[in-house]
Structure 1
């Protein structure tokens, strides 16, 4: 019936209903979140006395890409600028960041937690005199790993 909750076994979650929580900053709304990926380096090895004409491939160190967060610029909202302003030579306040995909009731259905995240770059998208879009800023976070929360 129309208006009923969708069966969780049949329908995947939509991508448009999500939130980002940053320790000591709080919940924030974003237009876009990207970069949730993880991969492993590959170690290739072949023993000199191996009769196989191939290398053995083993998992190496785990690595994760940078996270890109895009949001509109709001009056007096300078939380990103304050955080990136804390960066000093080899010191920064690292924070846990949780990115949650929400169900129709607004509860987290799937969450990813970034460990020891800190801002690497902030960009103001630019302005156009004949533009019709919202002013945007982009924050790029580096971190030390992604886990399902």
Structure 2
């Protein structure tokens, strides 16, 4: 869905898409950024002044954390088990993080290259607590691009 000029988007819901399957129950995405190293080039100018030029370096791939409510779906657990046991052919996946508007239409997509789960954290377990349980999956990837 294209946004009208001058309008911003509201992140109503988020999805994780890998292997043609979209998980739309993501409640929070953090660490989603495009970043690169900075290379400093130090030189003396012809008139003898010392200067430092800052040049773009190689891109950095982020660690992205996805949070969702704890459900019976065990896809996160299976995925991290594969990486923990070194089954990287099964673990490295190309996919996307998708932002949806309030009507469920795609607003923006961030494509991940060779993403795999670095950690899976279950929210705090407290007896008598009435808050819902969450699981946080931290992904690392080799590249990210806006698609």
Does TM, normalized by the shorter one, top 0.5?
yes
1:17 aligns with 2:47: no
Q: Do structure 1's residue 59 and structure 2's residue 56 form an aligned pair?
A: yes
1:31 is aligned to 2:27? yes
Alpha-carbon distance, 1:60 to partner: 0.9
Aligned to 1:140: 138
Residue 114 of structure 1 corresponds to which residue in structure 2?
A: 112
The yes-or-no answer on 1:79 pairing with 2:75 is yes
TM-score (norm 2): 0.85
Query: In structure 1, how many angstroms separate the alpha carbons of the residues matched to 2:6 and 2:39?
Result: 39
Which residue is equivalent to 1:131? Answer: 129
The C-alpha deviation readout for 1:121-147, integer Å capped at 9, x for no partner, is: 011112111211111111100001111
Name the one with the larger strand percent: 2
Query: Could you tell me which residue of structure 2 aligns to residue 69 of structure 1?
Result: 66
Question: 2: distance between equivalents of 1:90 and 1:23?
Answer: 16
The CA deviation at 1:16 is: 2.2
Q: Is the alpha carbon distance of 1:89 and 1:82 closer, same or farther for their aligned partners in structure 2, counting shifts above 3 Å?
A: closer
Shift of 1:117: 0.3
Match of 2:99 in 1: 101
Unpaired stretches in structure 2, ≥5 consecutive residues: none
Residues 1:44 and 2:74 aligned together: no
Alpha-carbon separation, structure 1, partners of 2:123 and 2:102: 31
CA root-mean-square deviation:
2.0
Aligned residues: 141
